[in-house]
Structures are given as C-alpha cells and as structure tokens.
C-alpha cells in the first residue's frame, strides 16, 4: 500500500527558517571543489538556492521537488536564480550529469532512498569526466525523539487510527549506512552525525516545528472535526516532553550527513 501524503505549506515550513537552514550550510562547507552545475533534490521553496550561490557564485542550479506548492513558490520568488522542476525525487532523470547532486532534509520521504543514492552514485561515476563530481546529503535522524514517538503513539490510538493508518512516515538510516552505500572504489566519503540544540521561541514551539514537517501527513489525514482534539492532546504531550524555559524551548535534533566525492 502506498503511504498517503499531503502537499506542503511553504509559509509554514519557513517558520524557524534559520534553524532549518543551518544543516544545509554545514553540509555545503564540506563539499570540495567548484561545481559548475548543481542539482538540488528536494529544493522546497527555493530559499536555500542563495546558500548554493554564496558557496559557488557561478554555479548553474536546478532544483527538483515533488510538491506543486513548493515549486510554485520557488519559481515565483527565486526563478531568476535557478530552474525549478516538479518531479518525483525517486525516479527523476536530468538532461545531463551534474557536477554536484545535493539533497537537504528530503530523502527521508522517499521509500528505499538508499537505492536512489546508489543510482545517483553510479550516474556520477559513469560520466566521462567523473573525477570531482560529488553527492552531498543531509537527512533528519530524530525518529526516536519524543516528538516522533508521541506522534506515532497518539496517531495509533483508537480515536484516530482509522484515519491515520497508512500515512507517510519519514525514514532515515544511520550515517554509517549511507557511508556503506557510497564508499565504493573510486570514491572518497565523509559521513557524520550532529545533534543541534535548537532554542525555539513562541508558545508550543515544538508543535509549530513538527506540524510543518514530520507530523504533516498525520494532521492532513484527520477530518476537520477530529483534528482539533488531536492537536490539543499532542501539544500537551509535547509541552511535557519539551518544557518551555525562560530563554525558549530546546529541541534536540539529530541529523545525518554524507559527502561522497569521485576520485
């Protein structure tokens, strides 16, 4: 059975934009060389194209996303800086082979994305001038955090399970698993994990964060007359797990990174 998804809300996603953007900047800092062409898989609303151009001002960027709302906003606000394509990340095939394939917080929504990474690895390796081509990926690794555990438990409760069963769930692997896929002969791979301590401002800040991302499919699946009760109970559980402090609410967030470069 195919997992049920819902389209993204760009304005909601861009809340806490600085915190969401930081891992992408950290990822780019570890990519060597000067790519001329960059393919961004899961480009979202296009706001991070500026980070690519800050790193490589002359690079030609193509952004791909499966969300019509995200691509529409990216084209409207950043269309002069990149080309944006509406396509499924799992099977997208570009016209040519880019120097750099990058993906930030997107592949967790692609079932079997280790196979997708292997396909991109092979595509880059097959290029006649493949030396120096690179693949750089960052994915959230917090599926065992209270935010996600509480979401799964509540969604499975008898009051909600009839609607939430089959909704899409993000899936990630440990950094060493990405290393294992990409560390083939002829490749140099840098893989690591980082836990950020985001200090979020505002009431129910963790709910605001996750409702734009990991909880989005569950919330969209609930009927309008049922969703408010779910939200109220979920917020209460999140407040207990992530108490607000005088300076804000701390959200520990683990992420996995990998940069693979063709020798």
Query: Which CATH number covers residue 221?
Result: 3.40.50.150
Mean pLDDT of all residues in the chain? 91
Residue 118: inside a domain, yes or no? yes
208, two tokens: 């605001």
Residues 56, 259: Cα–Cα separation, whole Å: 16
At 6 the pLDDT is: 53
Residue 191: inside a domain, yes or no? yes
At 153 the pLDDT is: 96
At 9 the pLDDT is: 59
Residue 70: inside a domain, yes or no? yes
Encode pLDDT of 6-20 as tens digits: 555 555 655 777 888
Residue 1: inside a domain, yes or no? no
For the chain, the domain total comes to 1
User: How many C-beta neighbours within 10 Å does residue 128 have?
Assistant: 6
Q: What percent of the chain has pLDDT over 90?
A: 75
Residue 211: inside a domain, yes or no? yes
At 27 the pLDDT is: 97
At 75 the pLDDT is: 96
Residue 4: inside a domain, yes or no? no
Residue 32: inside a domain, yes or no? yes
Residue 2: inside a domain, yes or no? no
Query: What pTM was computed for the model?
Result: 0.89
Band of pLDDT at residue 129, cut at 50, 70 and 90: confident
172, two tokens: 């990630």
CA dihedral sign of residues 79, 92, 136, 34:
negative
Domain of 38? 10-262
């Amino acid at each position: 059975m195919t997992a049920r998804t819902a389209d993204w809300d760009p304005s909601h996603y861009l809340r806490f934009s600085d915190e969401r953007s930081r891992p992408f900047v950290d990822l780019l800092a570890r990519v060597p060389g000067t790519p001329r062409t960059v393919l961004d898989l899961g480009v979202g609303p296009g706001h991070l194209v500026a980070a690519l151009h800050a790193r490589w001002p002359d690079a030609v960027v193509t952004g791909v996303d499966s969300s019509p709302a995200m691509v529409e906003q990216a084209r409207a606000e950043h269309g002069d800086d990149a080309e944006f394509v509406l396509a499924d990340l799992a099977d997208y095939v570009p016209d040519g082979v880019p120097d750099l394939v990058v993906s930030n917080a997107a592949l967790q929504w692609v079932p079997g994305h280790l196979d997708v990474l292997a396909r991109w690895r092979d595509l880059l390796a097959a290029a006649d001038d493949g030396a120096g081509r690179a693949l750089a990926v960052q994915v959230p690794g917090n599926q065992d955090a209270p935010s996600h555990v509480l979401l799964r438990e509540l969604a499975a409760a008898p009051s909600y399970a009839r609607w939430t069963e089959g909704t899409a769930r993000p899936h990630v692997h440990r950094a060493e698993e990405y290393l294992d896929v990409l560390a083939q002969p002829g490749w140099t791979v840098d893989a690591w994990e980082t836990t950020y301590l985001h200090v979020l401002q505002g009431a129910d800040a963790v709910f605001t964060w996750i409702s734009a991302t990991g909880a989005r499919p569950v919330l969209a699946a609930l009927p309008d007359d049922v969703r408010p009760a779910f939200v109220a109970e979920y917020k209460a559980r999140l407040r207990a797990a992530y108490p607000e402090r005088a300076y804000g609410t701390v959200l520990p967030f683990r992420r996995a990174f990998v940069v693979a470069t063709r020798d």
